[in-house]
Amino acid sequence: MSAATLSALAAGRAIAGYALRESLRRRILGVVGALTALFLVLFALGAHFAFEDSGRVGSELSTDGSGFADYRGATLLGLAMFATLFLGAVLATFLTLGVVRGDAEVGLLQSLLVRPVSRRTILVARLAAATMIGSAYVAGVFAISIGITALFGGYTPDNPIAVTLLLVLAVIAITAISLLASVFLSGTAQGITVLMIYGSGLTAGLLGQIGDALRAETLVNISRVTSWGLPFEALYQQALYMMSADRSAISKAVLGLGPFGGAVHSGPALYPFVVAYLIAMIAFAAFAFERRDI
Amino acid sequence: MSAPAVEVRGLTKSYGAITALSGVDLRIEPGQLVGLLGPNGAGKSTLTKLICGLVRPSAGSATVLGHPAGSMASRARIGYLAELFRFPQWLTPDEVLRLHQRLACSGGGAVERGALLERVGLVDLGPRRVGEISKGMAQRLGLAQAMIGSPQLLLLDEPTSALDPIGRRLVRDILVGLRERGASVLLNSHLLSEVEQVCDSVTIIDAGRVVASGSVDGLRGGRVVEIETEAGIERFEATDREAIPARIRELVDAGRSVYGVRESGSSLEDAYLEAVKGAGE
Ligand SMILES: Nc1ncnc2c1ncn2[C@@H]1O[C@H](COP(=O)(O)OP(=O)(O)OP(=O)(O)O)[C@@H](O)[C@H]1O
Ligand SMILES: [Mg+2]
């Protein structure tokens, strides 16, 4: 490795370490941790009562209990997935709030930028730090959710690891979008914009479901294009699909038309696309950052 | 021959319709301490930011020790204290310096950090974090940060604006120390007396243009002295040092009693007002 690469790595590590400490000390994690604990308690309560009550209904309705157990489990875990992605999106936004313009406006960035560190290195390091925390968070919350549905309803999803990785990737995509937004917008505007983009992704997913139900092809196409344009949505849909890829038609039907976004199988092409998307986002952010007067 | 610490040629910077700098030339030799003066909005901070690469020029060029301004090589050689800056509230001063040591690739370790904090008079801070220190303390910390890794060029944008009189004195001593070790300094300040006391040369800009530039003595011309006699206070402009005792002798020979002799204000101030007023007309 060249000396320049090595010193970029060292500087990147310093910036990433700084970002990690920032998130630990700024009490972001405390707030997110408290909200997450609240969600998990609610989810556990919900799972407990859902399985207890619908157990009765299920045994009356269905001679074959296993399909129905899948139905309940998949619905609940679909909900957990939605909540995990939502909380992950909020965390990703927090972790990248004001990284460029916000910090520049209050004078935090100037002294760092004058050091021999490229602006691209700073962005990549901030992405790495936010990814580390965001991924650990998403994986942890989703693992606990899987544990809860397994404990109360005996349901385990297909491909739990693939599903978790897809959710992690979705949160990384949101992180990259937020970093790009931070180059142009100051803190509050950036946060609102990213959460609105997140909402647009979800809306696109719901549109696709409606289009599916109405067999309105244009609607479905609009939804597909938007989901790839905001690939956290395509990843989320793929995760929903993977969750019950090997299951009975009934749970597939539930997740295909459920209240929390539809399962869509985008196929393996999604993965290289997402990698290219992330690289493009950071490259564009770095390009704009380099040209920005601070 | 070594490259100049700073060489700026025809530097122009526009922010949309606002022209902050137009065609500025500036040269700082190694080991030279240059004061940058000018009214509010003249473009001093913009010029400083252009030299350290925070801002991109619209036209013209700037080099730092032979490297293009803003390049990695140039940034590895400078220390910068911004006019408005903040360090993360949740870090301790020592941690701020440690972060900058890592970014500046300084191997000075705790010894360097301790020495710098002591140099700027920030000792006995206890466990305080940046969020808990005063404005002047933060400015001292900023100055320590700028000196990390013993840079060859320091760009200081109003480093004493928040400092108490002892702090200002301390900064003057620091500047003299920097010159002694051969570093160059661009000192951006509104305190003419400060500039007059430490700088070798001065550049005055107004509305984005250089309106005067030269050595401190050259710019201020004669010294204005007030001589108090029973006839009142006489203002007297001395073109050279020897003119002062000569004038006093004249007065005494004429039978006057001299009650006091003092330097009247800063004559750099007159030169400054002249330069800035001349440009405004
Ligand atoms: N980011 C910016 N966008 C637009 N205009 C700017 C920007 N920064 C500075 N300016 C303009 O450039 C000019 C020079 O500003 P600068 O901050 O360099 O002045 P200064 O000499 O440092 O003044 P002061 O003594 O008040 O610090 C001003 O007219 C200012 O309005
Ligand atoms: Mg200024």
- CB within 8 Å of B202: residues ≥ 6 apart: B34, B35, B36, B37, B195, B212, B213, B214, B215, B216, B219, B268
Tokens at A195, concatenated: 């959460």
What pLDDT is recorded for position A107?
A: 92
Q: Is the CB of B246 under 6 A from ligand 1?
A: no
Give the nearest partner residue to B90 out of A25, A110, A294, using CB atoms.
Answer: A25
Reduced to 3 states (helix: H, G, I; strand: E, B; else coil), residue B8 is strand
Higher pLDDT, B203 or B215: B203
Task: Verify that B122 and B155 share a domain, yes or no.
Answer: yes
Model confidence at B281, pLDDT cuts 50, 70, 90, reads low
Query: Quick check: is B279 in a domain?
Result: no
Strand-pairing partners, residue B14, are B19
Site to substitute for ligand 1 among B21, B46, B189, B276, most atoms within 8 A of C-beta? B46
pLDDT at A64 over 70: no
Domain match, B72 and B173 both: yes
Quote the number of domains for chain B. 2
Total structural domains within chain A:
1
Backbone angles phi, psi at A134, to 5 degrees: -60, -45
Do the domain assignments include residue B274?
Answer: no
B15 pocket-lining for ligand 1 (C-beta < 6 Å): yes
Confidence of residue A253 (pLDDT cuts 50, 70, 90): low
For residues B210 and B237, state if they share a domain: no
Ligand 1 centre to CA of A222 (Å) is 47
% of chain B beyond a pLDDT of 70 = 97
Rounded to an integer, the average pLDDT of A22-28 is 78
Average pLDDT of every residue of chain B:
90
Indicate the residue of B54, B90, B142 with minimum beta-carbon distance to A294: B54
Task: Note whether residue B36 is domain-resident.
Answer: yes
Lowest mean pLDDT segment, chosen from A64-73, B10-19, B188-197: A64-73
How high is the pLDDT of residue B231? 85
**Does residue A50 contact residue A80 with C-beta atoms inside 8 Å?**
no
Tens digits of residue pLDDT in A197-243: 999 999 888 888 888 878 888 888 888 899 899 999 999 988 888 88
Q: How confident is the model at residue A182 (pLDDT cuts 50, 70, 90)?
A: very high
CA dihedral (B87, B91, B96, B99) positive or negative: negative
In a domain, B280, yes or no: no
CATH number for the domain harbouring residue B83: 3.40.50.300
Query: Same domain, yes or no, for B10 and B71?
Result: yes
Question: Structural domain of residue A271, as residue ranges?
Answer: 3-290
Beta carbons of A11 and B102 less than 8 Å apart: yes
Question: In terms of Cα–Cα distance, which of A129, A138, A113, A127 is closest to A176?
Answer: A127
Which domain CATH number covers B242?
A: 3.10.20
Band of pLDDT at residue A248, cut at 50, 70 and 90: low
pLDDT at A77: 87
Provide ipTM, 2 decimals.
0.85
* pLDDT score at A60: 44
Structural domain that includes position B239: 222-265
Do B59 and B184 sit in the same domain of this protein? yes
Query: Best mutation site among A6, A114, A293 for testing chain B: the one with the most B CBs within 10 Å?
Result: A114
Same domain for B112 and B203, yes or no, is yes
What was the pLDDT predicted at A59?
47
Band of residue B102 on the pLDDT scale cut at 50, 70, 90? very high
Q: Which has the higher per-residue pLDDT, B265 or B146? A: B146
Query: Are B57 and B173 members of one domain?
Result: yes
Rounded to the nearest angstrom, the distance between the alpha carbon of B144 and the centre of ligand 1 is: 25
Provide the token pair at B197.
């006391």
Decide if A97 contacts A179 (C-beta within 8 A). Answer: no
pLDDT given for residue A61 in this prediction? 45
Which tens digit of pLDDT belongs to each residue from A45-59? 988 888 776 555 544
> Mean per-residue pLDDT for B232-248?
82
Which of A5-19, A101-115, B206-220 holds the top average pLDDT?
Answer: A101-115
CB contact B111 to A (< 8 Å): no
Are B194 and B254 in a shared domain? no
Confidence of residue A62 (pLDDT cuts 50, 70, 90): very low
B270: in domain: no
Q: Indicate whether B121 and B252 sit together in one domain.
A: no
**Under DSSP, is residue A156 helix (H, G, I), strand (E, B) or coil?**
coil
Inspect the interface and report whether the beta carbons of A115 and B56 lie closer than 8 Å.
no
Same domain for B159 and B240, yes or no, is: no
The pair phi, psi for residue A285, each rounded to 5°, is: -60, -45
Tokens 């002047």 appear where?
A: B136
The angle formed by the CA atoms of residues A261, A267 and A273, to the nearest 5 degrees, is 95
Work out the pLDDT band at A83, boundaries 50, 70, 90. Answer: very high
Mean pLDDT of A75-98: 91
Q: Are residues B243 and B212 in the same domain?
A: no
E strand spans, A106-218: none
Q: Indicate whether B278 belongs to any domain.
A: no
Contacts of B58 in chain A (CB under 8 A): none
Judge if B213 and B230 occupy the same domain. no
Q: pLDDT band for position A66 (50/70/90)?
A: low
- Tell me the per-residue pLDDT of A255-264, one tens digit each, with 9 for 90 and over: 555 555 677 7
Q: In chain A, which residue's Cα lies nearest the Cα of B88?
A: A108
